[in-house]
Amino acid sequence: MRHGYHDLCRPEILELIPTTAKKILDLGCGTGALGKAIKQRQECLCQGVELNKEASQIAEQNLDTVWCDNLNRFDPNFLNEKYDCMVFADILEHLVNPWNVLTRYAKVLANNGTVVVSLPNVAHPSIISELEKGLFRYRPAGVLDITHLRFFTKTTISQMFYSAGLKITDIRPSPSAKDPIQYLITATKIPTPSVKPIVTILLLSWNAWAYTKQCIDSIKKNTNVPYKLLVIDNGSTDKTVEMLRKDPEVYHIENTHNLGFAKGFNVGLELVDTPYFVISNTDVIVTKNWLKDMIDHIETKDNLVCLGPMSNNVSGPQKEKKVPYKNETELESYATHRAKNTMDPVAPFKRIVFFCTLFKRKVLSSCGLLDERYGLGNFEDDDYCLKIRQAGLDTAIDRNVFVHHYQSQTFKENKVDYKETIKDNKAKFLKKWNFAAIEDYFKYLERK
Q: Is the peptide bond before 173 cis (omega within 30 degrees of 0)?
A: no
pLDDT at residue 430, rounded to an integer: 95
| 180 beta partners | 175
Model confidence pLDDT, tens digit, residues 39-85:
999 999 999 999 999 999 999 999 999 999 999 999 998 888 899 99
- Report, as ranges of residue numbers, the positions in the chain whose pLDDT lies below 70: 1-6, 342, 407-417, 448
Torsion angles phi and psi, residue 265, rounded to 5:
-65, -35
Please give the CATH number for the structural domain made up of 199-446: 3.90.550.10
Q: How many CA atoms lie within 13 A of 399 on its CB side?
A: 10
d(CA 24, CA 109): 10
| 311 beta partners | 319
d(CA 208, CA 45): 44
In contact, 219 and 229? CB cutoff 8 Å:
yes
Domain ranges of the chain: 3-189, 199-446
- Helices of type H across 247-322: 261-269, 290-298
Please give the CATH number for the structural domain made up of 3-189: 3.40.50.150
Amino acid at position 384, single letter = Y
Same topology between domain 3-189 and domain 199-446: no
Task: Report the number of secondary-structure helices (H) and strands (E) in the chain.
Answer: 17, 17
d(CA 173, CA 347): 49
Crossing angle (nearest 10°) for helices 438-446 and 418-433: 70
pLDDT at residue 213, rounded to an integer: 97
pLDDT at residue 340, rounded to an integer: 78
pLDDT at residue 417, rounded to an integer: 65
Residue-wise burial string across 330-350, b where 16 or more C-beta atoms lie within 10 A, e elsewhere = ebbebbeebbeeeeebbeebb
Q: Which residues, at least 6 apart from 301, have a Cβ–Cβ distance to it below 8 Å?
A: 346, 394, 396
Which run of H or E residues covers position 242? helix 240-246
Q: Is 142 exposed, middle or buried, given 0-12, 13-18 or 19+ CB atoms closer than 10 A?
A: middle
pLDDT at residue 425, rounded to an integer: 93
Amino acid at position 2, single letter = R
pLDDT at residue 313, rounded to an integer: 92
CA distances from 8 to 35, 52, 65, 89 (A): 10, 14, 19, 10
Q: Is the pTM of this model over 0.75?
A: yes
pLDDT at residue 342, rounded to an integer: 62
d(CA 157, CA 379): 29
